[in-house]
Every structure is written in structure tokens, then in C-alpha cells.
Amino acid sequence: MPNPYYQTFTPPEELVTAALEAVRLAKTSGKVKKGVNEVIKAIERGQAKFVLIATDVDPPEIVAFLPTLCEERKISYIFVNSKAQLGEVAGLSVPASSVAVVDPGEAKGYIEEIVKKIQELKK
């Protein structure tokens, strides 16, 4: 069940799928940070290029402030429905509450396109 914390904007499913694929590509050709603590550090250090946040995190307070932090630092983010799926694309055998793309590698063009679409949707 989606949590009210995440209702700032709901991305279309194809955009979520594209974002997950971009993380999979960035993991193999670039660098990603996994888990809320690593993601916070990447955002605060200005390293994060793109952030994905799972909506099925319990308790939701664990990631509830990430959108605000991203917006303060002008970092694009997207919500995904499954922490299990997010962990999988990030190369983990456990779920991940959030992932930050630090070096997009070969996913750079994809991520730029996704970020552009997210910005258009938020207007």
C-alpha cells in the first residue's frame, strides 16, 4: 500500500521501469550508493546525480525526508514501488530503501532523459 509520505508526485510506470534499468546499467558501468545512510551521505556531499526511493519502506519515516533533502540540493529523484526490486537492480541480495547514482557510467544519457521527464511532470 503506497504511503501518504510519497504522494508528492506519482511517476508513470514506464518511467519507473526506465529508472530501475538505468540503475542496473549504472551499477555495472558506473557507481551507485545503496541504503539510506549511504544515499544521505552522497546527497549531502553533492555526489548524487539521481536518487530512487522505495515506497514500501516500513516504517516510512526511514526515507520520508529524502525528497526534501533532494529538493534542497536540486537532485532529481523518483519513487519506485518495491524495495526488493530496487535492491536487486542495485546488485544486492537484500531489499534497498533507496539508491543514489553517483557515477552514471553508460547510463548517463538514460538518466538525463529520465530527469528531464521528471522535471516536465512536476511542472
Residue type, 76: S
* Stronger pLDDT, 93 or 12, i.e. the higher one: 93
Shortest CA distance to 73 belongs to which of 107, 96, 49? 49
| The three grid cell numbers given for residue 41, joined into one nine-digit string | 551521505
Judged against a pLDDT cut of 50, whether residue 5 lies above it is answered with no
Packing angle, helices 13-29 and 108-122, rounded to 10: 150
The 10 Å Cβ neighbour count of residue 30 is 19
The secondary structure element, H or E, covering residue 54 is strand 50-54
**How high is the pLDDT of residue 1?**
38
**How high is the pLDDT of residue 3?**
43
**How high is the pLDDT of residue 38?**
97
| The three grid cell numbers given for residue 16, joined into one nine-digit string | 519507473
* pLDDT, tens only, 87-111: 999 999 999 999 999 999 999 999 9
The 10 Å Cβ neighbour count of residue 96 is 29
| The three grid cell numbers given for residue 40, joined into one nine-digit string | 544521505
Q: What is the mean pLDDT of residues 74-93?
A: 95
Q: Set out the domains of the chain in order of their start, with CATH numbers.
A: 11-122 (3.30.1330.30)
Mean pLDDT score across all residues of the chain: 91
